[in-house]
């Protein structure tokens, strides 16, 4: 008998989040998310960019099951998102938005403790306390732990939001315009913090300058559709940027490390 040894194929990596043909339409409107498919792998930081109203926040709300898809499938860690029990979903996905309707009388410590609710039965009080104080320390607001949310500045409130989702210890972190209210250094510090923790992250970002330093993958949306996808260089240098945003990227060389940096300017035809 002839025996043939086939070369061993490396197994394809499993996607942590698999999105297939996902669509959503609010009553009587054209779809806000239209047949979107993508894969995200463990540890990746994925940025979503797109003009106002292109469906980015709607996509995040689908990814946390706050909205139900009109069609399509979301699989997280091999399991259909819609089939998960609420507690399982809360342990798996956390969403940081601009408007979470939190009670402004809560102190920062109490607010961040909300992130521990899905894990309540899994640890001791001391264990939860440590996660909470570590998260608050990580975002640089230990001095505000006993202060009510209503007495914080916009940026301090945003840091508290980061601490809450970090305390939730999700497998997938969703950030909707997380850098709003943050000063330029804080933007870099908090996105670096998330990257450093290796949490699989999907972030809606409007600031194109932040895409390259933090992202493994970029998804560009327009009118509900995923119109361009790739590495930061592939997406930011593609004709899509001009067609969708009316912007172009220019390359400059970092004077110290020689890296290519991108700056962005509006196409002259867009500002006449």
Contacting residues toward ligand ATP, per CB under 6 A: 26, 29, 32, 50, 52-58
Nearer to ligand ATP, 59 or 165 (CB): 59
Name the minimum Å distance from CB 262 to ligand ATP: 21
Nearer to ligand ATP, 57 or 217 (CB): 57
Q: In degrees, to the nearest 5, what angle opens at C-alpha 212 toward C-alphas 270 and 227? A: 55
Name the minimum Å distance from CB 241 to ligand ATP: 16
Name the minimum Å distance from CB 187 to ligand ATP: 17
Contact 244, 218 (CB under 8 A): no
Nearer to ligand ATP, 54 or 145 (CB): 54
Beta strands in the chain (DSSP E): 17-24, 33-40, 45-49, 71-76, 79-80, 93-96, 172-176, 200-204, 217-222, 225-230, 247-253, 260-266
Eight-state DSSP code of residue 5: -
Nearer to ligand ATP, 50 or 118 (CB): 50
Here the tokens at position 72 are 């399509």
Nearest alpha-carbon partner for 55 in 248, 223, 197, 261: 223
Name the minimum Å distance from CB 78 to ligand ATP: 27
Name the minimum Å distance from CB 223 to ligand ATP: 9
Nearer to ligand ATP, 56 or 157 (CB): 56
């Amino acid at each position: 008998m002839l025996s043939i040894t086939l070369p061993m194929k490396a197994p394809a990596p499993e996607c942590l989040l698999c999105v297939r043909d996902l669509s959503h339409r609010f009553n009587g409107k054209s779809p806000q998310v239209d047949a979107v498919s993508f894969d995200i792998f463990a540890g990746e930081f994925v940025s979503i960019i797109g003009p106002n109203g292109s469906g980015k926040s709607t996509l995040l709300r689908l990814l946390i099951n706050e909205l139900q898809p009109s069609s399509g499938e979301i699989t997280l860690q091999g399991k259909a998102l819609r089939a998960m029990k609420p507690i399982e979903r809360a342990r798996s996905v956390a969403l940081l938005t601009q408007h979470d309707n939190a009670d402004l009388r809560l102190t920062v410590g109490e607010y961040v403790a909300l992130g521990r609710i899905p894990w309540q039965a899994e640890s001791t009080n001391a264990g939860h306390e440590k996660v909470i104080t570590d998260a608050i320390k990580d975002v640089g607001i230990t001095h505000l732990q006993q202060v009510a949310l209503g007495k914080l500045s916009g940026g301090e409130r945003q840091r508290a939001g980061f601490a809450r989702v970090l305390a939730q210890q999700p497998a997938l972190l969703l950030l909707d315009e997380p850098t709003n209210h943050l000063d330029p250094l804080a933007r870099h510090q908090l996105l670096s913090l998330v990257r450093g923790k290796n949490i699989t992250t999907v972030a809606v970002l409007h600031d194109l300058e932040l895409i390259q330093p933090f992202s493994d993958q970029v998804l560009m949306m327009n009118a509900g559709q995923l119109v361009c996808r790739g590495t930061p260089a592939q997406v930011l240098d593609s004709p899509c940027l001009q067609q969708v945003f009316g912007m172009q990227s220019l390359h400059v060389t970092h004077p110290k490390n020689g890296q290519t940096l991108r700056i962005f300017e509006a196409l002259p035809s867009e500002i006449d």
